[in-house]
Amino acid sequence: RQYNTVSYVLRALIFVSCSSKSVIPVKMVKSRPARTPADTPVVKEATVNLHKRLHGIGFKKRAPRAVREIKAFVGKQMKTADVRIDASLNKFVWHKGIRNVPYRVRVRMERKRNEDEDAKELMYTLVKHVDVALDTATGKKVKGGFKNLLTSKTETAVDEE
C-alpha cells in the first residue's frame, strides 16, 4: 500500500529504542490552542453549511428548520443554551423564500454576559450575518465567496462595567 506520508507519520507509532535494546511505542500528539472558558465573553466567525443540514427536509419546513439548525450549531460552538438570532441573519435565511434556503451562511457569534437578574443562563450568544462578498478591511467586493474561509476567533470581548 502507498500511504500519504504526512497523515501516515501523524497516525503511526514511532518506535524509540532504549539502551536495553527494547522498543517502546510513542504516539505523536498534536498540541491544541488554549481554549477560552465558557463564562468568558468571546467573538467567533464561522460558516454554517445549511445544505447538508436541510437534506431531505420538506419544502415548507426548510427556512424554519434552517433557523433552528443555526441555533443548534451556535449553541454547540459557543457552549450556551440561550442563542439569539439577529434580524439581519433571519432576513438572509428567508430572503429567497421558505423553500430556497441559501446553501451556506457566514455568521459572527458573540458570547455576552446576561444582564437580566432573572435569567437562568449566565451567558447568551448573539448571532449576526456576515456578508462574504465584502472584505471587512477594505469594504470592496471579493471573489471566491466561501472558499478558504475558516472558523476564527476574531477577538475577545471586554466587559463593559
127 pLDDT more than 70: yes
Higher pLDDT pick, 97 / 148: 97
Closest CA to 132 of 155, 103, 97: 103
Average pLDDT for 76-101: 96
Burial class (CB in 10 A: 0-12, 13-18, 19+), 115: exposed
pLDDT tens string 55-74: 999 999 999 999 999 999 99
Amino acid at 137: A
- Interatomic CA distance for residues 107 and 30, integer angstroms: 28
- Interatomic CA distance for residues 107 and 18, integer angstroms: 52
Q: Are strands 13-17 and 123-129 parallel, antiparallel or unpaired?
A: unpaired
145 pLDDT more than 80: no
131 pLDDT more than 50: yes
pLDDT tens string 92-105: 999 999 999 999 99
Average pLDDT for 145-157: 70
158 pLDDT more than 70: no
Cell numbers describing residue 10: 501523524
